[in-house]
Amino acid sequence: MENQATFGDILVKILIVMVLLTSSTVFSVVKTSTLENIKLHKVLKCGVSAGLAGFSAPNSKGKWQGLDVDICRAIAAAVFGDVNKVQYIALSAQQRFVALQSGEIDVLSRNSTFTLTRDTSLGLNFAPVVYYDGQGFMVKRKDRVSKISDLNGASICIQQGTTTELNLADYFRANNLKFKPVVFENNDEVTQAFVKGRCDALTTDISGLAAEKSKFKNPDNYVILTEIISKEPLAPVVRHGDDSWFDVVKYVIYALITAEEFGITSQNIDSFFKTKNPKIKRFLGITKGNGKALGLDEKWAYNIVKMVGNYHEIFERNVGKQSSLKLERGVNALWKNGGLHYSPPFK
Amino acid sequence: MKFWDDQKNREKVYQLLALLAVIGLGLFFYSNTKANLEKQNIATGFSFFDQVAGFEISESLIEYNSEDSYLQALVVGVLNTLKIAIIGNVLAVFLGIFIGVCRLSKNWPLAKLAQGYVEIIRNIPLLLQLFFWYAMFTEIFPGVRQALTPMPGVFLSNRGIMFPSLEYSPVYLYMGVAFFLTMIFGYFLRRYAKKIQDQTGKQIPYVLYILGPLVILPLLIWFIGGSPLTLHLPKLQGFNFTGGISVSPEFLSLLMGLVLYTSAFIAEIVRSGIQSVQKGQEEAAEALGLKSYLVLTLVILPQALRVIIPPLTSQLLNLTKNSSLAVAIAYPDFVNIANTTMNQTGQAIELISLIILVYLTFSLLTSLFMNWFNKKMALVER
């Protein structure tokens, strides 16, 4: 399997460059708006991770699941009123931005960190953050490592194509610590190398560590250190230059947060039709206007919550208490509850 | 005669048109790409070269740390690729010749063993073999704290092999100079011996004359220099060994995979080369009374080499190009580092072009050398 994946990777890279070189697609995508294009083809092309438990991974029935996948589904619900009109394109950390730049996908929902360079010189726009993460370390319990400075001189396994390599080098340099990087292209090899003892520590975003740990045979033999060395705001990404499509993606995410603020869930949403609250009336499209402004159906927000749920439901189902990752809401709580998620008003 | 009636003129016009079409297509691609990138506000060009790279590299032949530039990081990658390509090619050629000769051996089990080796290794995808050797390394060898010590100062663990290193002393330089000078002397001695043989038919065993000084002279200098021998022993410090020389499991498994895989192909090339020399040649040489090693070196090999060299060249190129699979098992070769750079700077087109350029240069240089060697070995017609 691995073997094909890597050959495929190289092939895809070459293809993507070819597409960029010829890129009649880019012209067509830029000329007609992304939203029109999606409606025309009746499918949303969503770039996701090939396998990160809790964020995007196919389940036992081959259906894509996870927080990132639910963002794709929410966008499809807003555009088509149908969560199944999504074509998931699994991308490696390496391929993701090129795939977006070249017009292979419409939106990238693949635990990507929002950074200045990516936002500017890569020609991308970051939608609101869907998960506030930070880079951490997993070590073996028997090594008795309790803080990062204990890792001086250690070999550390990393996956290529992420912000992780840079964060790690920066942190260790700033704290006068030494380490040996062991850099793999593929996530499975990274984890294998760590489990087999090639490395003393595994580093990636805390959510990623929790996802890997949940898959181990003896999760209790491993510890995730509490220290966090970086800010990793994970956000969906769209291309520069199509602001109305950017708006759609932005407000789909805000709708998830707003729904949680109002206490609207996929279960109780129909009971809100009798509400007198003008804010909720606007949100659900009973008072018209929001849909037209975005170029969507007036029931777009209703469809999102009804079909996918609000942010709380998405979080708990994929990475929270109802999942194997068991992550706390922490900074990912609503602003009212001491977290960072905050939506501008829907008016 | 009219211009069009001459076939040569027509051909020239067609060739010109074809050339213009190719150039035009190239320009179209270039301008189209540029316009697209500008439209999307994607930075272009190689100005990222002197920016700080910011990432660490696990093994490097030159000084490198995360505060060096991207250019420096890429150079580290090129050198690492060269390291694996050169060592790999040399070992693969030797092993390939050995296996190829074994296949032709009159010793039945040996010949069959060599055949089995070739058939098994040649028919398994290289990437699979790399994963296999890498897994063997991490699976079989113990963790770093339980490292095996086959000899004092040598440690084997899943972090690689650690050797003691010698502390540098100027005496070593003199020893090297002595060795080198003896070699040059040997070269002239060989020419002289050849001349004598051509004139008188008398053979001078020059190899024997030169072997002694080749060993004794440097040793003598070492004794005179006060026999310096300070070893830096690898020591377990915290998580890893420090001091000494370490060879990483990534390098070793990549080397093993590439050498074994390529040697199987080279073995077949060597076998076909030797078999291409007619049996009559061997018999004639034996009839002249030549010893069997002389039959091989003077009659069979010079003729076989002509058949061997061209396909051997493409095997050497293959090994170099296949070394780019290193990224799968974490060896920091050029592609691995270019990938990281691509990810951090986003300059996909520039870096893919650079990768193409570097491998093309490697391949052309190898071809150039092998063509020269081929010419030297080719049949000299009078």
**A28 has pLDDT over 70:** no
Sorted by sequence, the CB contacts under 8 Å of residue A338 that are 6+ apart come out as none
β A44-49/A86-91 pair status: parallel
Flag whether B257 is in a domain. Answer: yes
Residue B228 tokens read as 């310096």
Q: Which residue of A has its CA nearest to B241?
A: A153
Residues B347, B259, single domain; the answer is yes
Most A CBs within 10 Å, among B41, B57, B72, to test the A interface: B41
Residues A128, A143, single domain; the answer is no
Structural domain containing residue B20 = 3-42
* B contacts of A173 (beta carbons < 8 Å): 65-67
Flag whether B62 is in a domain. Answer: no
**B9 has pLDDT over 90:** no
Q: Is the dihedral of CA A287, A289, A290, A295 positive or negative?
A: positive
Flag whether A52 is in a domain. Answer: yes
Residues A281, A179, single domain; the answer is no
Query: Is the CB of B278 inside 8 Å of chain A's CB atoms?
Result: no
Query: Is the CB of B58 inside 8 Å of chain A's CB atoms?
Result: yes
Residues B26, B93, single domain; the answer is no
CA angle in degrees (0–180, nearest 5) for A52-A57-A59: 140
Sole residue written with tokens 């196919």: A58
A278 CA: distance to closest CA in chain B (Å)? 40
- Mean pLDDT lowest among A159-173, A243-257, B253-267: A159-173
Domain boundary pick from A230, A256, A272: A230
List, for residues A84-108, the tens digit of each pLDDT value.
Answer: 999 999 998 878 998 998 899 999 9
Residues A194, A175, single domain; the answer is yes
Residues A118, A142, single domain; the answer is no
Q: Is the ipTM of this complex over 0.90?
A: no
Domain boundary pick from A203, A230, A257: A230
User: What would the mean pLDDT of B153-170 be, rounded to a whole number?
Assistant: 85
The β-bridge partners of A182 are: A157
Give backbone dihedrals phi and psi of A239, rounded to 5 degrees, phi first: -75, 150
pLDDT value for A121: 81
pLDDT value for A9: 59
The maximal CA–CA distance of chain B, rounded, in angstroms, is 89
Specify the number of domains making up chain B.
2
Flag whether A304 is in a domain. Answer: yes
Average pLDDT value for chain B: 89
Q: Is the CB of A122 less than 8 angstroms away from the CB of B127?
A: no
Question: What counts of helices (H) and strands (E) characterise chain A?
Answer: 14, 14
List, for residues A168-198, the tens digit of each pLDDT value.
Answer: 999 999 999 999 999 988 888 899 999 988 9
Ramachandran class of A335: left when φ > 0, alpha when ψ lies in -120 to 50, beta otherwise: alpha
pLDDT value for A29: 43
* E strand segments, chain A: 44-49, 57-58, 64-65, 86-91, 107-108, 124-126, 131-133, 135-140, 154-159, 179-184, 201-205, 222-224, 232-234, 237-239
3-state secondary structure of A234: strand
Q: Is the CB of A22 less than 8 angstroms away from the CB of B249?
A: no
pLDDT value for A11: 55
Residues B34, B74, single domain; the answer is no
pLDDT grade, residue B83 (50/70/90)?
very high
Flag whether A344 is in a domain. Answer: no
pLDDT value for A175: 93
**A37 has pLDDT over 50:** yes
Between A30, A122, A181, which is nearest B346 by CB? Answer: A122
User: What would the mean pLDDT of B145-153 be, rounded to a whole number?
Assistant: 84
CA angle in degrees (0–180, nearest 5) for A261-A265-A270: 115
Flag whether A315 is in a domain. Answer: yes
Residues A105, A151, single domain; the answer is no
- How distant, in Å, are the alpha carbons of A100, B66, B83, B92 from that of B362? 33, 27, 12, 17
Residues A185, A105, single domain; the answer is no
Structural domain containing residue A282 = 242-337
- Mean pLDDT lowest among A197-206, A245-254, B226-235: B226-235
List, for residues B316-366, the tens digit of each pLDDT value.
Answer: 999 999 999 998 899 999 999 999 998 888 888 899 999 999 999 999 999
- Mean pLDDT lowest among A5-9, A29-33, B139-143, B158-162: A5-9
Q: Is the dihedral of CA B327, B332, B338, B343 positive or negative?
A: positive
Query: Is the CB of A27 inside 8 Å of chain B's CB atoms?
Result: yes
Residue B227, Cβ density class (10 Å: 0-12 exposed, 13-18 middle, ≥19 buried): exposed
* A contacts of B342 (beta carbons < 8 Å): 94
List, for residues A259-289, the tens digit of each pLDDT value.
Answer: 999 999 999 999 999 999 999 999 999 999 9
Residue A57 tokens read as 């991974």
Give me the total of CB pairs closer than 8 Å, taking one residue from chain A and one from chain B.
157
Residues A22, A106, single domain; the answer is yes
Specify the number of domains making up chain A.
3
Q: What is the CATH number of the domain that holds B305?
A: 1.10.3720.10
What whole-number distance in Å separates Cα of residue A125 and Cα of residue A102? 14
Residues A211, A255, single domain; the answer is no
Most B CBs within 10 Å, among A126, A185, A245, to test the B interface: A185
**B232 has pLDDT over 90:** no
Flag whether B369 is in a domain. Answer: yes
Flag whether B60 is in a domain. Answer: no
User: What would the mean pLDDT of A118-139 be, rounded to a whole number?
Assistant: 93
pLDDT grade, residue A14 (50/70/90)?
low
- How distant, in Å, are the alpha carbons of A121, A230, B364 from that of A205? 24, 9, 43
Between B40, B125, B336, which is nearest A239 by CB? Answer: B40
pLDDT value for A236: 97
Residues A22, A8, single domain; the answer is yes
Query: Is the CB of A196 inside 8 Å of chain B's CB atoms?
Result: yes
Give me the residues of A, 77-96, that contact B with CB < 8 A: 93-94
Residues A199, A225, single domain; the answer is yes
Residues A210, A252, single domain; the answer is no
Q: Is the CB of A21 less than 8 angstroms away from the CB of B237?
A: no
Flag whether B78 is in a domain. Answer: yes
Give me the residues of B, 313-352, that contact A with CB < 8 A: 325, 327-330, 332, 336, 339-340, 342-346, 348-349, 352
Enter the pTM of the model: 0.80
The DSSP letter of residue A52 is B
Flag whether B178 is in a domain. Answer: no
Sole residue written with tokens 């929410």: A74
Sorted by sequence, the CB contacts under 8 Å of residue A328 that are 6+ apart come out as A320
Query: Is the CB of B156 inside 8 Å of chain A's CB atoms?
Result: no
Domain boundary pick from A105, A132, A159: A132
Residue B271 tokens read as 């076998």
Flag whether B100 is in a domain. Answer: yes
Q: Is the CB of A21 less than 8 angstroms away from the CB of B33?
A: yes
Flag whether A345 is in a domain. Answer: no
| CB contact at 8 A, B267 and B100 | yes
Q: Is the CB of B37 less than 8 angstroms away from the CB of A3?
A: no
List, for residues B165-209, the tens digit of each pLDDT value.
Answer: 888 888 888 888 988 999 999 899 889 988 988 888 888 888 888
Give me the residues of B, 116-135, that contact A with CB < 8 A: 125, 127-128, 131, 135
- CA-nearest of B125, B24, B62 to B328 is B125
Residues A20, A124, single domain; the answer is yes
What whole-number distance in Å separates Cα of residue A114 and Cα of residue B246? 38
Q: What is the CATH number of the domain that holds A38?
A: 3.40.190.10
What whole-number distance in Å separates Cα of residue A280 and Cα of residue A226? 40
Flag whether B349 is in a domain. Answer: yes
